Structure 1
């Protein structure tokens, strides 16, 4: 009887033990995910369903789990799909918490703000898919980063800031099917990827060089775009063969000073005191050295048409998806849709007088300047207006179709304080952007003079306030019309603010981050000089606000900011200087002496100074949004009338309780 009674009890105990084991397993999964959550930032609360005391794979245990972004199958957690949630943090640190999930097969953190180096993934032995695209990950990836990952099939690291060589351990991943490394800063050669199942490879818009492995000869040419020094059958660019060193020739006779060799463009410039013929300037600028291109406008010879099946390319930051057809026929389709072909100007501004490329080539041109983004010419058409032609070799971040779509988007913009894009000319290695010519030149020249003069042109407070307001309105418009861009302008500085006939500001070189090579943008664009870029390796929506604040400080002080080394003058850290002066109750001393101070003008100037400092706040979370900055700027007046407010009075008032419309929220550090 005792044995018979103990049997049900034993069965019950076994069932209880199994249940406890299952609960422990579930609790371990929840603990691992909660640990991961606590190590990252979730400002939008997208992981609000991750709550202690609940289970990730609750409910029926199939498909999506109870916790947002958790993928389950038969009650087991198989994947994390945390995409486009605004998450941030050091992924290389936080991802270690996920090693407690033995059944994890997919990790997707696409379209977030994660930063830091490549997370260590080789310890996830069973992982099959890794998607980290469109984050702020950076640095070199260890060569053995993918060592021993026998189950790995898909890897997407595109649109980050990785640098250094592509890890050769990827060549030893036996089941690799898809690999996307595009839009990074990878350098060196491409590993010899010989996986038979590999059906997608994209390494475009990096800094790769050397011979493309023979096993990749059938990869579409578009997936190698933007790597200027690659050669091989896949890109139709034969690799140079080593040639024997020729016998050393006798040293030629020394030239006299009057016989020095001068580049062709320089000879043209000297010929007429700085005026050259565009047929020389632009043909030399855009003419390809490839053997299959002999004159400007000739199409490239056809390439190997046997390519992989196309796949959706992510379009300009985080916009909609388009199909990029890399074959010759695909390119023709894109050109027809865009209204362009090789050798033609494409007009994107409606209602503008059209002219042909040959009209441009026959016109005379004046070199306006050479900057970090190429050379700028003023072309005077024989039977038409003058246009400005900007030539760039650093706009290879996207393929042709995406580039043309972005140019059409810019052509649709219309604001009184934006210099409109009129037309463009596309070649794989050269781009020309055409704008209207503005006679008054730039704000930088008005502020700092020309040629390093010690006597800059002075203009008074009403004009400067008018310029600030126009710039702010244009920035607000860009934010509204281009919400898909992380930094809608990206390169706001005084030399990119032109002045019209009535000294109204006209912004130029805006919205070019999506088409500009990442390495070039990081080195030269103003938004990439922001504090968050220096501290965390990434820009933000407020990087343009910081640029606006720096520009306002430059306008108020007449000083060149430290990040702008092109002005040819001693630069200053305007933010530290202005903050120091404000603390020491001498804020009025930072204002340019060339500004008028009638009536209450100085009080209004100092209010604008505080707005500028709020826009330049180092901590992104405390920096103003563009909308708030524009609203405060619009409240500033010229300060006319009999009621004056001196700098000392304004500074003295800073110790009094703040009124509702005071700038008490400005954090000055």
Structure 2
């Protein structure tokens, strides 16, 4: 019995010791967790400093820890057992830099998502986060090539989402070599080259649609749905149509001989032409047109083309129209013509046409296509035009096709498929207004003089007024009015292009790139009106007069500050100088008064306060009154109204302009 007592006593004290140890461990864990949480808070606040537009993160405050047990106290922070597990910073309109070095200090970080924000520039150095399991960077403005080693060492990474950005180049080898990938989304970018053979055998989600990939789909990836590959003109193989059969071996040698011979002849011909051209006194080193004021941006990476001023993109130069739509040849789709005064042709004729890439702009790629034995057209392939169904799409396009005005670019035909939208219009040899304003000029190709610019702005105003009359049901009869969408014919008569597409363009994409959504009213209230097109007209007038490109047009998302209007306003109010006008206008002294009048019109049109902004009717009336020569005074403008591009103060910029004399401008 005594032995039993000792056993019970020993067991009692042993249980008590175990219980005390357990309590101590819990206390230590809580203290460690509390200490870790406090350290994480400091790291996150340091990380926040690298970001812009952080209103959504206002509750990040050291007064409360980011995580408590399984509860998250900070918005965008994911917690697991009281420890920070991930960051989910989605739909917050965040900008700035993603401070990877700060995130590196979060030892428990396993997932990060910054989807649906406004981050720009190259992909951050996420390969420093070697313990990361998932990375979501889709729906931003990231751009540029991704380095081959961008995912080196990330052996546990299983989810990579980079869709809907502007990435270029080949898929990095380090991504294809990751062993545990489950999800990869790369759609709606500008990747090119072949689709690599991914090392992971567990891929469940894979999408590379709407890029510029070519070649055969790897066998291992052929079990994916065909939608994962659509929009890549050069891809072939299951689940897409089979690749063309290779040439029979017996005839290979003969074909090689023929190809080499033809290539040598073409090479010699090109050399002869170039030598002849360079020796010509009409050709000079300064003939090349380059961008002057337009900066690189994900959706406006234009380099002004030497031959005709159209935008061109170096990486896509070799991708012709036939290649871009070759996977559609089996569809037997029909072109729908909108005009009876243009030569009709079949889709196959278009695919066989001699084609040249003009660029890849806000909505998709553009091609110059010369129909064999016929005229030359521009074919625009729209990648973001799925906002309405087929019937509504055709109804609006046919209505636009019936429009007739000397200052509108005519729509000739269209092609509609679920994943393919083509709109065909006349080719305008003289290029865009942007190329003439911002290209380098030579003595035999001078900049636009004042009379030409006045003619252009009058034509733009007339074309816009016509759209207002014919499309009263649209809140944005144009919606994308800017200098690159004003083409100039051989007589320098302006032709508006890309008009009235707002109802067709995917709403989210349109709000990122279209000119109307850079306006003050959309920035403030997420709303646009018919005066929004007037604001675009005002910015265009200021661009024509100053020769400066509106910098906010180069950015994705809301317009932010309309820097051009602010700059003009500041010059007028504080440091007036005639140097604000583009010196390439070559205007005489007698033109300066009319230039001032147009400047005032432009400022009234891009007035920040929409209620004070002129209507299109008022603007067109005043523009029509302008003359090439100044033969009257400035008193014909309405009195009693004040102007301020941002309503910064009660000072009247209008009054400041009205007091400027022609002598001061000269």
Bucket of the pairwise TM-score, normalised by the shorter protein: 0.5 to 0.7
Please report the TM-score for the alignment, with normalisation by the length of structure 1: 0.55
**In the TM superposition, what whole-angstrom CA distance separates every residue of 1:170-198 from its partner, at most 9, and x where no partner exists?**
33333322111122232332221253321
Q: Do structure 1's residue 395 and structure 2's residue 381 form an aligned pair?
A: yes
In 2 relative to 1, CA 76–160 (structure 1 residues): closer, same or farther, beyond 3 Å? Answer: same
Q: Is residue 31 of structure 1 aligned with residue 42 of structure 2?
A: yes
**CA distances 1:273-309 after superposition (whole Å, capped 9, x unpaired):** xxxxxxxxxxxx987899x99xxxx972xxxxxxxxx
Instruction: Give the match's secondary structure for 1:137.
Output: strand
Q: Evaluate the alpha carbon distance shift between residue 26 and residue 446 of structure 1 in structure 2; reply closer, same or farther with a 3 A threshold.
A: closer
Contact kept, 8 Å, 2:65 with 2:73, in 1: the verdict is yes
Q: Indicate which of 535, 552, 561 corresponds to 2:541.
A: 552
Residue in structure 2 matched with residue 84 of structure 1 by the alignment? 91
Q: How does 1:238-637 map to 2 (within 5 A)?
A: 238=244, 240=246, 243=249, 244-246=252-254, 248=257, 300=330, 342-345=332-335, 373-375=366-368, 390-392=377-379, 395=381, 397=383, 407=393, 411=397, 424-426=414-416, 432-433=422-423, 466-467=458-459, 469=461, 489=480, 492-493=483-484, 495-496=486-487, 506-508=496-498, 551-553=540-542, 555-556=544-545, 584-585=577-578, 601-608=594-601, 631=614
Q: CA deviation at 1:41?
A: 0.6
Q: Where in structure 2 are there 5+ consecutive unaligned residues?
A: 1-16, 266-319, 360-365, 507-512, 519-532, 552-563, 637-643, 658-666
Q: 2:73 aligns with which of 50, 66, 69?
A: 66
| TM-score, normalization by structure 2 | 0.55
User: Aligned residues, how many?
Assistant: 506
Q: CA deviation at 1:549?
A: 6.7
1:630 and 1:155 map into 2 onto residues whose CA distance is 47
Distance 1:344 1:180, change over 3 A: same
CA positional deviation for 1:88:
0.9
1:49 aligns with 2:59: yes
Residues 103 and 221 of structure 1: CA distance in aligned 2, closer, same or farther (over 3 Å) = same
Cα separation, 1, equivalents of 2:324 and 2:594 = 59
Structure 2 residue 201 is matched with structure 1 residue 201 = no
State the SS of the aligned residue for 1:659: coil
Question: Contact conserved, 1:88 with 1:114, CA < 8 A, in 2?
Answer: yes
Instruction: Provide closer, same or farther for how the CA distance between residues 561 and 55 of structure 1 changes in structure 2, counting only shifts above 3 A.
Output: closer
Which blocks of at least 5 consecutive residues in structure 1 are unaligned? 1-6, 256-284, 301-340, 379-387, 517-524, 531-543, 564-573, 616-623, 647-653
Given candidates 215, 223, 245, the residue that maps to 1:218 is 223
Q: Secondary structure at the match of 1:496?
A: strand
Match of 2:232 among 227, 231, 250: 227
The secondary structure found in structure 2 opposite 1:28 is: helix
CA distance in 2, matches of 1:455, 1:121: 46
Report Cα offsets for 1:562-584 as digits up to 9, x if no partner. Answer: 99xxxxxxxxxx99x99999864
User: Aligned pair in 2 of structure 1 residues 413, 207: CA closer, same or farther (>3 Å)?
Assistant: same
Displacement of 1:442 after TM fit?
A: 9.3
Match of 1:237 in 2: 243
Q: Are the equivalent residues in 2 in contact too, given 1:115–1:137 (CA < 8 A)?
A: yes
Q: Do 1:216 and 1:234's aligned partners in 2 also have CA atoms closer than 8 Å?
A: no
Structure 1, residues 365-402: CA drift from partner, whole Å, max 9, x if none?
Answer: xx9x9966334799xxxxxxxxx99442x626469899
Shift of 1:27: 0.8
Question: Cα distance, 1:40 vs. partner?
Answer: 0.9
Aligned equivalents of 1:100 and 1:552: distance in 2? 51
2:194 to 185, 189, 213: 189
Structure 1 residues 404-459: Cα deviation after superposition (integer angstroms, max 9, x where no partner): 69956964998999768685114799965256999xx99899999xxx89999996
SS of equivalent residue, structure 1 residue 144: coil
**Secondary structure at the counterpart of residue 119 of structure 2:** strand
**Match of residue 524 from structure 2:** none
2:140 to 135, 142, 151: 135
Q: Residues 231 and 239 of structure 1 are in contact (CA less than 8 Å); yes or no, is this contact kept in structure 2?
A: no
CA contact (8 A) 1:131 1:156 kept: yes
Name 1:269's counterpart in structure 2.
none
SS at match of 2:227: helix
Distance in 1, matches of 2:415 and 2:104, equals: 51
Go from structure 1 to structure 2 and tell me whether the alpha carbon gap of 1:459 and 1:508 turns closer, same or farther (over 3 Å shift).
farther
1:345·1:357 contact (CA, 8 Å) conserved in 2? no
* Contact 1:603–1:639 under 8 Å retained in 2: no
The question of 1:114 aligning with 2:119 is answered: yes
Deviations 1:465-524 (A, max 9, x none): 65565678899999x9799xxx9628643743789xxx99744467599999xxxxxxxx
1:195, 1:127 → 2: CA distance?
A: 17
CA RMSD of aligned residues (A): 6.7
The 1:459/1:144 distance shift into structure 2, 3 A limit, reads closer
Secondary structure in structure 2 of the residue aligned to 1:34: helix
How many angstroms apart in 2 are the aligned matches of 1:425 and 1:639? 42
Secondary structure of 2:48's partner?
Answer: helix
